[in-house]
């Protein structure tokens, strides 16, 4: 085992990494260009702001040449894909900044799957999806299954672990599958992050928001997207866990999750983040 892998087997090491990355996001306020779906814009922008980053929802193709090179990271999300937005997504993903892809409902249509496959070829640092999305993307398959649920997952994250590894190896991206346990892999190493509460699935666009947070963490740590993605997922899940303590249901959890992202401190992060390198 190399020294890096030894360190990553130590839970305390992950707590310190998560805290140092969140602290760096707060200190450096990375500018994250988000080309994201219409449902997620508010929660993604607010999650980024609460965590200390600077979100900018900039979609026009005509703005990409001036704006994207000045960003610290780019976030592309196909949740409400249209023909008008795809050229902007391509251009922003090709602008030389680290970027992250959320393949929302990748299996919904041939148009969407082709767009995701084309974007994947533009080398995202991280792809984060739910289990059904990662299974579909790894297989390039448009849904025929009767249990297809659009933007929601009909699988557990563990069901997509092998597909995530294969997708990581074929694309060169770190692939993160969210769920009760979030799995993050580069095709060789697999890290599990087990913060979060099931109620997070009942708030629309929490997945989109955590992918935005991954982009902010990748802006800080572009040379280790696996660690950046794992820490962002754990921090977001932890904000959900602590937020749930004051919440009655999805609407109040949405508010408390964002408040908690803003208030997380070193003690909360280092003692409660649950990330582990898997054997």
Ligand X SMILES: Nc1ncnc2c1ncn2[C@@H]1O[C@H](COP(=O)(O)OP(=O)(O)O)[C@@H](O)[C@H]1O
Ligand Y SMILES: Cc1ncsc1CCOP(=O)(O)O
**Helix H or strand E encompassing 61:** none
Binding site for Mg ion (CB under 5 A): 104, 207
Question: What are the structure tokens assigned to 173, written together?
Answer: 């991206």
Rounded CA separation 132/141 (Å)? 11
Q: Choose from ligand X, ligand Y, Mg ion, none: what does 37 bind? Cβ within 5-8 Å by kind.
A: ligand Y
237 binds ligand Y (CB under 6 A): no
Nearer to ligand Y, 39 or 255 (CB): 39
Nearer to ligand Y, 15 or 79 (CB): 79
Token pair of 251 as six digits: 């609407």
| Residue 212 in the binding site for ligand Y (CB under 6 A) | no
Binders of ligand Y in range 216-235 (CB under 6 A): none
Q: What does the binding site for ligand X look like in residue numbers (CB under 6 A)?
A: 130, 152-153, 178-180, 182, 196-198, 200-201, 206-207, 210, 233, 236-237
- Regarding 104 and contact with ligand Y (CB under 6 A), the answer is yes
Helices (H), 29-73: 41-51, 64-67
Among 110, 25, 126, 109, which residue's Cα sits nearest to residue 74? 126
User: In sequence order, what E strands does 23-166 have?
Assistant: 31-35, 54-56, 73-77, 99-102, 126-130
Contact between 206 and ligand Y per CB under 6 A: yes
The reply to whether 115 sits near ligand Y by the rule CB under 6 A is no
Residue nearest to ligand X (CB): 207
Q: Does 151 bind ligand Y (CB under 6 A)?
A: yes
Neighbours of 4 (CB within 10 A): 11
Query: Largest alpha-carbon pair distance within the chain?
Result: 49
Residues that bind ligand Y (CB under 6 A): 37, 39-40, 79-80, 104, 151, 204-208
């Amino acid at each position: 085992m190399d020294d890096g892998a030894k360190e990553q087997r130590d839970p305390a090491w992950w707590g310190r990494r998560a805290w140092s990355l969140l602290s760096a996001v707060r200190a450096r306020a990375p500018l994250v260009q988000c080309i994201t779906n219409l449902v997620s814009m508010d929660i993604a922008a607010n999650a980024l702001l609460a965590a200390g980053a600077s979100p900018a929802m900039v979609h026009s193709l005509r703005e990409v040449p001036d704006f994207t090179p000045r960003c610290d990271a780019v976030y592309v999300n196909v949740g409400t894909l249209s023909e008008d937005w795809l050229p902007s997504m391509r251009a922003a993903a090709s602008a030389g900044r680290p970027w992250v892809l959320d393949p929302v409902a990748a299996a919904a249509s041939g148009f969407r799957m082709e767009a995701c496959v084309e974007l994947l070829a533009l080398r995202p640092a991280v792809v984060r999806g739910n289990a059904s999305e990662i299974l579909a993307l790894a297989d390039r398959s448009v849904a025929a299954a009767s249990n297809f649920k659009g933007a929601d997952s009909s699988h557990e994250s563990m069901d997509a672990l092998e597909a995530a590894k294969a997708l990581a190896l074929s694309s060169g991206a770190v692939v993160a599958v969210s769920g009760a346990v979030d799995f993050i892999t580069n095709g060789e190493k697999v890290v599990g992050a087990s913060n979060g509460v099931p109620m997070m699935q009942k708030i629309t666009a929490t997945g989109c928001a955590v992918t935005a947070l991954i982009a902010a963490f990748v802006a800080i740590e572009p040379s280790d997207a696996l660690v950046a993605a794992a820490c962002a997922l754990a921090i977001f899940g932890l904000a959900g866990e602590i937020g749930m303590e004051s919440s009655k249901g999805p609407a109040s959890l949405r508010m408390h999750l964002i408040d908690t992202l803003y208030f997380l401190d070193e003690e909360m992060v280092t003692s409660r983040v649950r990330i582990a390198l898997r054997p």
